[in-house]
């Protein structure tokens, strides 16, 4: 098994210097004679899953770096060096991170195509009792390929549609970008196939182990998200809202998934590698039992709480903590006094050798005092207000991946860069909110089902029973289309804060660049110095930054490629 997965891992790694990312010359190929049954085929399939756990895809770029800036978060610092270029929308088409993401996505597409072609060639010779497993493995690969193309089309817009390994070997001057509609139609077919051929996680009696593997619920949820994105900017095919509502409704009414009763349990699970498909529809495991960075991630480090070397219980490590929260996001959170998610989403402290220490300490009346973010938020005395707010414009961190709280001792930090914290690609709460949004769009106003979907998420966020009506948590009845739409957008921000959804939500709503610029002004109102650390407000341009650029290397080699607007 190790030999096979090793083969699949090196596909596309040896390349001619002048090749583009779609026609890399493969010098090492998997020996298919090893693949004689479903067990051996599964080991190759797991290589496609592992393709997602790289910096260019979910370990860094698409989960964190390219999700900045938004109204929720920004990157640390005030100078345009290193990853701050990407975090401030100040990079060019020659960005190594842009190139790495493009190449990693197409490498994974190649591997998914290869697996599907291999199964077509090899599975007829497998033992008859492997048929059911093979059907599921093919459905998993088609889900993964659909997910990869979804990321390609929504981040890059105009991308080649490579549906077979043979197409990857076309000469560079013959490769063309596809109409985005054609890409979405291809994604739709792959995901619908996955929906039709995968079991729900709780009903899966075929796979020996389905931990951190996609099931029918994940395929339905992603297909609903694809339709909601297709309906929005830039394609704006409003007819897809009805399909989004229909597919999300199938998942919601199936009864196969639910919210966890406790919002905080999500982060205990992701920090301890605990698999619970109740709410987790698709999740990447970064647990690395051998304590190497080959399978580990950056969550809780790059987007974690600041820690100096020696400040963490897992060893003499620290956290880079480049991912910072905009204070105006927290001050604009409606009903933050009663919503438990508010305090659970941010950290205004750091870890030092002396332990957990508040980020802001001031001498008041001769006494050294810990200043909380809430104090800075509510302070009215101008002698304190501005200095507190200045510091809090720099030192607010996501709390959901606090390794000291949520990572058990046996799964602690690997080193200064990598952790064993998992990443949710899709949660049931996300789909509930998409369902409410789609119903509101289809009916030009909220239905009872739309209200209930949002209210379930809100009740759980308030620490209440999500299945019981609540005067404290439920949205006000009688909202019109516009008011309910804004309520759902707010709720997506609160529930999914810093989880890699906000930028793409703002893009599909057609308000991304306007929102970044508005946030720059809001930070000016918060305190005079705050905008100095939100350079995205200066470098974000409408009609440009809704998409990443086509990597310059690819455009130079593939002469038929057209660059995205303004790049």
Burial of 449 (0-12, 13-18, 19+ CB in 10 A): middle
Average pLDDT, stretch 296-312? 91
Average pLDDT, stretch 413-432? 90
* Cβ contact 444:294 at 8 Å: no
Question: Whose CA is closest to 58, among 360, 299, 414, 358?
Answer: 299
Report pLDDT digits (tens) over 437-469.
999 999 999 999 999 999 999 999 999 999 999
Average pLDDT, stretch 158-174? 95
Average pLDDT, stretch 335-339? 96
Distance of CA 482 to the CA centre of its chain: 27
pLDDT at position 480 is 98
Whole-number Cα distances in Å, 488 to 78, 491, 566: 33, 5, 32
Confidence grade of residue 361 (pLDDT, cut at 50, 70, 90): confident
Sign for the CA dihedral angle at 430, 54, 326, 502 comes to negative
Supply 560's token pair.
């038929």
* Cβ contact 51:5 at 8 Å: no
Task: Give the percent of the chain with pLDDT over 90.
Answer: 79
pLDDT at position 383 is 64
pLDDT surpasses 60 at 176: yes
Supply 252's token pair.
């919601």
Confidence grade of residue 410 (pLDDT, cut at 50, 70, 90): confident
pLDDT at position 28 is 42
Domain positions in the chain: 1-197+501-567, 323-421
pLDDT surpasses 70 at 563: yes
Report pLDDT digits (tens) over 4-54.
333 333 333 333 233 577 755 443 456 788 899 999 999 999 999 999 999
pLDDT at position 18 is 36
Question: Whose CA is closest to 40, among 90, 80, 1?
Answer: 1
Report pLDDT digits (tens) over 478-533.
999 999 999 999 999 999 999 999 999 999 999 999 999 999 999 988 888 888 88
pLDDT at position 4 is 31
Rounded CA separation 427/278 (Å)? 9
Confidence grade of residue 414 (pLDDT, cut at 50, 70, 90): low
* Cβ contact 481:440 at 8 Å: yes
Rounded CA separation 16/388 (Å)? 55
355: helix, coil or strand? strand
Report pLDDT digits (tens) over 416-425.
788 899 999 9
Contacts of 56 (CB under 8 A, 6+ apart): 62, 97, 100, 101, 102, 103, 104, 105
Q: Class of 1-197+501-567 per CATH? A: mainly alpha
Rounded CA separation 229/516 (Å)? 20
Q: Is the model more confident about 308 or about 156?
A: 156
* Cβ contact 345:497 at 8 Å: yes
SS3 content of the chain, % helix, strand, coil (to 5): 50, 10, 45
Q: Is the model more confident about 293 or about 560?
A: 560
pLDDT surpasses 60 at 326: yes
Omega of the bond leading into 353 within 30 degrees of 0 (cis): no
pLDDT surpasses 80 at 385: no
* Cβ contact 122:40 at 8 Å: no
* Cβ contact 562:551 at 8 Å: no
Average pLDDT, stretch 298-315? 89
74: phi then psi, degrees, rounded to nearest 5: -150, 175
Omega of the bond leading into 556 within 30 degrees of 0 (cis): no
Average pLDDT, stretch 427-436? 98
Rounded CA separation 221/223 (Å)? 5
Omega of the bond leading into 239 within 30 degrees of 0 (cis): no
Strand partners, 369: 362
Report pLDDT digits (tens) over 208-234.
999 999 999 999 999 999 999 999 999
């Amino acid at each position: 098994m190790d030999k096979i997965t090793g083969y699949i891992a090196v596909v596309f790694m040896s390349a001619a210097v002048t090749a583009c990312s779609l026609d890399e010359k493969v010098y090492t190929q998997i020996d298919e004679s090893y693949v004689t049954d479903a067990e051996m085929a599964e080991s190759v399939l797991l290589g496609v899953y592992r393709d997602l756990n790289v910096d260019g895809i979910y370990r860094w770029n698409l989960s964190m770096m390219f999700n900045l800036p938004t109204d929720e978060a920004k990157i640390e610092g005030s100078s345009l060096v290193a990853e701050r270029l990407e975090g401030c929308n100040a990079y060019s088409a020659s960005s190594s991170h842009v190139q790495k993401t493009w190449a990693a996505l197409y490498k994974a597409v190649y591997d998914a195509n290869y697996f599907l072609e291999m199964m077509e060639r090899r599975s007829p010779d497998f033992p008859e009792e492997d048929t059911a497993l093979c059907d599921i493995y093919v459905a998993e690969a088609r889900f993964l390929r659909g997910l990869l193309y979804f990321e390609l089309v929504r981040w890059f817009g105009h991308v080649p549609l490579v549906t077979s390994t043979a197409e990857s070997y076309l000469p560079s001057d013959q490769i063309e970008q596809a109409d985005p509609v054609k890409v979405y139609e291809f994604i739709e077919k792959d995901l619908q196939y996955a929906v039709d051929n995968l079991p729900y996680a709780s009903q899966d009696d075929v796979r020996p182990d389905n931990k951190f593997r996609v099931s029918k619920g994940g395929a339905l949820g992603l297909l609903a998200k694809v339709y909601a994105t297709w309906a929005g900017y830039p394609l704006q095919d409003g007819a897809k809202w009805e399909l989004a509502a229909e597919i999300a409704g199938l998942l919601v009414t199936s009864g196969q998934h639910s919210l966890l009763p406790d919002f905080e349990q999500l982060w205990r699970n992701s920090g301890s590698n605990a698999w619970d498909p109740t709410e987790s529809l698709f999740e990447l495991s970064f647990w690395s039992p051998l304590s190497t960075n080959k399978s580990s991630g950056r969550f809780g480090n790059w987007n974690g709480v600041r820690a100096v070397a020696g400040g963490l219980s897992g060893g003499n490590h620290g956290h880079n903590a480049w991912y910072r929260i905009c204070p105006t996001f927290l001050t604009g959170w409606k009903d933050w006094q009663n919503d438990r998610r508010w305090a659970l989403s941010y950290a205004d402290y750091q870890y030092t050798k002396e332990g957990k220490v508040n980020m802001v300490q001031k001498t008041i009346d001769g006494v050294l005092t810990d200043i909380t973010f809430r104090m800075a938020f509510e302070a009215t005395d101008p002698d304190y207000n501005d200095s507190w707010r200045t510091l809090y414009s720099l030192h607010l961190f996501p709390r959901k991946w606090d390794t000291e709280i949520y990572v058990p001792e046996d799964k602690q930090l690997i080193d200064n860069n990598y952790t064993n914290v998992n990443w949710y690609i899709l949660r049931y709460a996300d789909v509930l909110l998409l369902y409410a949004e789609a119903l509101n769009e289809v009916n030009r106003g909220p239905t009872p089902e739309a209200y209930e979907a949002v209210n379930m998420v809100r009740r759980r966020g308030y620490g209440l029973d999500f299945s019981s009506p609540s005067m404290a948590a439920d949205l006000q009845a009688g909202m019109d289309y516009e008011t309910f739409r804004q309520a759902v957008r707010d709720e997506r921000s609160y529930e999914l804060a810093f989880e890699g959804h906000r930028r793409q939500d703002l893009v599909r709503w057609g308000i991304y660049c306007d929102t970044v610029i508005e946030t720059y002004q809001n930070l000016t109102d918060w305190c005079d110095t705050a905008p100095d650390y939100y350079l995205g407000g200066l470098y974000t341009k409408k009609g440009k930054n809704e998409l990443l650029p086509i990597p310059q290397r690819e455009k130079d080699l593939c002469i038929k490629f057209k660059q995205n607007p303004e790049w």
